[in-house]
């Protein structure tokens, strides 16, 4: 697979770069773009970004490994994040995580065999007022329970 942004994406990269005094500061949004395009931040993607932004590969690797939102391996088409931090845990977030894990037959940071779902147990996602909550890709689902989770998963299976 060719690891290269298309001309429109390069324009987007340049917009990010223009917002900062240093090119390297655009690293995080550019990595996010890359993850959306290729699904994860592979070693090849890291190398491409380091060349594109003219920064050491070790800097890209450091940011990728520090932030859990950057996937270091391929994830499912629908990445389910279940918050089990305090507010959500007090409202059964931990049980919801266990339930989803059992329903899908996968553990933390694993992907179903068909590649449709992956699962991640996460810390607070800043939506405590709607605890317990989960996120599927970039959408939040708040005040969730087992029934609602099952409905969501079934809908995404269709
Ligand atoms: S504790 Fe779950 S969103 Fe804050």
58 CA to centre of ligand 1 in angstroms: 32
| Portions of the chain given CATH number 3.40.30.10 | 78-157
For residues 52-72, give the mean pLDDT: 96
Give the mutation target among 81, 84, 88 for probing the ligand 1 site: most ligand atoms within 8 A of CB. Answer: 88
90 CA to centre of ligand 1 in angstroms: 10
68-115: pLDDT as tens digits: 899 999 999 999 999 999 999 999 999 999 999 999 999 999 999 999
120 CA to centre of ligand 1 in angstroms: 14
Q: Which residues form ligand 1's pocket by a CB distance below 6 Å? A: 83, 85-88, 124-128, 131, 133
**Residue 99, CA distances (Å) to 53, 77, 153 in order:** 42, 20, 12
| Residue 122 to residue 100: CA distance in whole angstroms | 13
Is the domain spanning 78-157 CATH 3.30.830.10? The answer is no
| Residue 127 to residue 131: CA distance in whole angstroms | 7
Give the mutation target among 81, 82, 83 for probing the ligand 1 site: most ligand atoms within 8 A of CB. Answer: 83
For residues 123-132, give the mean pLDDT: 96
16-52: pLDDT as tens digits: 999 999 999 999 999 999 999 999 999 999 999 999 9
Q: What angle do CA 79, 67, 143 make, to 5 degrees?
A: 45
142 CA to centre of ligand 1 in angstroms: 10
Segments of 33-137 assigned E as strands: 78-83, 110-111, 117-122, 134-136
**In the chain, count of helices (H) and strands (E)?**
7, 5
pTM of the predicted protein model: 0.87
For position 42, what pLDDT does the model report? 97
For position 2, what pLDDT does the model report? 87
For position 125, what pLDDT does the model report? 95
Instruction: Tell me: pLDDT of 1 over 90.
Output: no
| Portions of the chain given CATH number 1.10.10.1590 | 7-66
CATH, domain range 7-66: 1.10.10.1590
Closest Cα to residue 85, out of 43, 30, 35, 135? Answer: 135
Segments of 42-138 assigned E as strands: 78-83, 110-111, 117-122, 134-136
Give the mutation target among 81, 120, 125, 129 for probing the ligand 1 site: most ligand atoms within 8 A of CB. Answer: 125
């Amino acid at each position: 697979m060719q690891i290269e942004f298309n001309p429109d994406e390069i324009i987007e990269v340049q917009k990010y770069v223009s917002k900062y005094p240093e090119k390297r500061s655009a690293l995080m949004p550019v990595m996010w773009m890359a993850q959306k395009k290729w699904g994860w931040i592979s070693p090849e993607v890291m190398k491409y970004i380091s060349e594109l932004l003219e920064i050491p590969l070790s800097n890209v690797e450091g940011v990728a490994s520090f932030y859990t939102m950057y996937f270091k391996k391929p994830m499912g088409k629908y990445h389910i994040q279940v918050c089990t931090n305090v507010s959500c845990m007090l409202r059964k977030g931990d049980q919801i995580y266990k339930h989803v894990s059992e329903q899908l037959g996968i553990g933390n940071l694993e992907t179903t065999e068909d590649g449709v779902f992956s699962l991640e147990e996460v810390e607070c996602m800043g939506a405590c007022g709607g605890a317990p909550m989960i996120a599927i890709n970039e959408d939040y689902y708040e005040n969730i329970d087992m029934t609602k989770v099952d409905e969501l998963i079934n809908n995404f299976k269709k």
